[in-house]
């Protein structure tokens, strides 16, 4: 048995960190994001196709035409054409007008479901048309950052992988660590030489099948490094380097607040929502409608909560009443962020819809009414998770990029404009 046909995932890091401090490291990531990802390397394919063409024609005079029948841009097509001419010339081809050419070659840059396919149709006076082709895999497209708005919501890439990401947490320390929670494991990474190095992957044991639309949350522990909550399962780290983890079946409520706004909610282990049972409760309120997500709205000494309910509406719990807000048209994921801008805390909300793109928008909650406080941050894919960080200073979002199929986790922070 030699040929493994299915490979386990190979995590792919978006960009390296550049500082020992996590905060500045994340900032550096944001800067690095502006640098386009390396373009696909066509050189091998150009050389290979040129070789096949010359093998068919010999080093003759030829006329070359390049047609783009793929999703490649016009500029890329021009580059490929130029490089192909160079490669052919290196192999002895000379280029002349079609009427003087011993061979006319039409190269079509085509593609199929998985690959680019470059096809050369070679016409020589006395022979039938011959066909040569090369294929090369497609790489992922580039992402583009949105422009800044008055209250600026910034996206800082954290991690990208093919497997669904449930949550990501970056833990300050020396060295800094990053935890990536997915349906099968919790993987710890250590910051070393400006790169996240995989440290260990801890399997998550569970006795029941995961529900579809699986969710999970990482919480920084008070007396341990972290706790991971998944439907019907609680995993807890112990002391050690790297930290070991124990998972067990549990219906314990999940912490949904922050270090400053503590609230626990029971998660329905066979579904994708919280049941509405709250502990210790919001003031006197210990039950609420079933909800997908919640956002704290601190006002002085009191903390109210917004719930994105399963019924599609937004509920405002102020400790004694449950009011349904009519205005906001939000998606099912909301989170709050302590920015220091405006009222101090803002609410992040996904957009409604189940389309191929999503957006996160910032809202100030004045009284009970959320008011948009900046331009939406567009995301090229559907957001599958949005959690307030334990510190409350940011939120972690995960989106599935429909074009690449990868899950991309990023940190969302708010700055007070320029």
Partner 1 sequence: MKLFGLFLLAVVSQALVVAAPASTRPHYGGTLRISIREAPASLDPADSDQVGMFASPGLWRLIFDTLVTLDARGQAQPALATSWQADPGNQRWQFMVRHGVAFQDGTALSSDSVAASLRAANPKWKVFAAGDAVVIECDAATSNLPAILTLPRYSIAKRGGGKLAGSGPFAINRWDPGKKLVLTAREDYWGGRAFVDSIEIEMGRSFREQVIALDLGKADIVEVAPEQMRHAVSEGRRVQSSAPAEWMALVFSRDSQSAEEGKLRQALALSIDRTAINDVLLQGGGEPAGTILPNWLTGYAFLFPTTVDLEHARQIRSEAGGGPGWTLVSDPADPLARVIAARIALNARDAGLVLLEPSTLPTSSKVANVGLVRMPLPSLDARVALSELAASLGLPTPKFEGDPAYTLYAAESALLQSQRVIPLVHLRTATALSVNVMGWQEDPDGSWRLPNVWLEMGKP
Phi, psi at 86, each rounded to 5°: -60, -45
Contact 29, 15 (CB under 8 A): yes
Q: How far apart are CA 231 and CA 215, in angstroms?
A: 7
Distance from C-alpha of 271 to C-alpha of 251, rounded to nearest angstrom: 13
Q: How far is the CB of 174 from partner 1 (least distance, A)?
A: 38
44 or 244: CB nearest partner 1: 44
CA distance 276 to 286: 8
Give the footprint of partner 1 on this chain (CB under 8 A): 1-6, 69-70, 108, 110-117, 119, 121, 131-135, 208-214, 268, 270-273, 290, 292, 308, 310-313, 329, 331-333, 350-355, 358, 382-383, 405
At closest approach, how far in Å is the CB of 171 from partner 1?
Answer: 27
Distance of CA 230 to the CA centre of its chain: 20
Nearer to partner 1, 103 or 351 (CB): 351
Distance CA(279)–CA(285), nearest Å, equals 9
Minimum distance of partner 1 from residue 331's CB (angstroms): 4
* Of 115 and 287, CB closest to partner 1: 115
**Residue (74 or 239) nearer to partner 1, CB:** 74
| 29 versus 181: smaller Cβ distance to partner 1 | 181
User: Burial, 278: exposed, middle or buried (Cβ in 10 Å; 0-12, 13-18, 19+)?
Assistant: buried
Shortest Å distance, C-beta 9 to partner 1: 11
Residue 379 CB neighbours (<10 A): 23
Strands of 238-273 (E only): list them: 245-249, 254-255, 264-267
Give the C-alpha separation, 22 to 392, whole Å: 16
CB of 264 to partner 1, least distance (A): 20
As a whole number of angstroms, the distance between CA 346 and CA 298 comes to 9
CB 136 to partner 1: min, Å: 9
Looking at the Cβ atoms of 175 and 352, the one nearer to partner 1 is 352
Residue found under tokens 């020396």: 174
């Amino acid at each position: 048995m030699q040929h493994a046909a299915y490979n386990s995932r190979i995590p792919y890091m978006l960009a390296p960190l550049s500082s020992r401090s996590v905060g500045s490291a994340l900032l550096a990531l944001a800067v690095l994001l502006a640098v386009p990802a390396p373009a696909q390397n066509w050189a091998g394919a150009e050389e290979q196709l040129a070789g096949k063409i010359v093998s068919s024609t010999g080093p003759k005079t030829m006329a070359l035409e390049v047609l783009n029948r793929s999703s490649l841009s016009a500029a890329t097509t021009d580059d490929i054409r130029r490089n192909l001419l160079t490669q052919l010339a290196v192999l002895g081809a000379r280029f002349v007008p079609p009427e003087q050419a011993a061979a006319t070659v039409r190269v079509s840059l085509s593609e199929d479901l998985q690959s680019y396919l470059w096809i050369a149709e070679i016409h020589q006076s006395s022979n039938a048309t011959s066909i040569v082709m090369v294929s090369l895999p497609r790489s992922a497209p580039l992402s583009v950052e949105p422009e800044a708005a008055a209250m600026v919501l910034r996206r800082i890439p954290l991690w990208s992988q093919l497997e669904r990401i449930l949550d990501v947490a970056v833990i300050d320390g020396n060295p800094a660590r990053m935890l990536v929670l997915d349906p099968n494991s919790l993987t710890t990474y250590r910051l070393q030489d400006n790169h996240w190095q995989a440290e260990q992957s801890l399997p998550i044991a569970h006795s029941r099948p995961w529900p579809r639309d699986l969710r999970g949350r990482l919480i920084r522990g008070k007396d341990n490094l972290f706790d991971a909550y998944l439907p019907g399962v609680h995993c807890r780290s112990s002391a050690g380097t790297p930290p070991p983890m124990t998972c067990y079946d549990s219906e314990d409520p999940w912490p949904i607040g922050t270090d400053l706004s503590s609230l626990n909610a029971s998660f329905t282990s066979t579904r994708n929502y919280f049941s509405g049972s709250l502990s210790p409760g919001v003031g006197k309120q210990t039950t609420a409608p079933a909800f997908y997500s919640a956002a704290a709205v601190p006002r002085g000494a009191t903390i109210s909560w917004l719930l994105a309910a399963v019924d599609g509406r937004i509920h405002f719990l102020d400790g004694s009443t449950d009011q349904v807000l009519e205005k906001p048209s939000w998606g099912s994921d909301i989170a709050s962020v302590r920015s220091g801008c405006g009222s101090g805390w803002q609410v992040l909300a996904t957009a409604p819809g189940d389309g191929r793109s999503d957006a996160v928008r910032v809202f100030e909650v004045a009284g009970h009414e959320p008011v948009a406080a900046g331009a939406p941050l567009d995301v090229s894919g559907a957001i599958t998770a949005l959690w307030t960080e334990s510190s409350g200073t940011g939120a972690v979002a995960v989106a599935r990029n429909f074009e690449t199929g990868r899950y991309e986790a990023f940190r969302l922070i708010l700055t007070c404009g320029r």
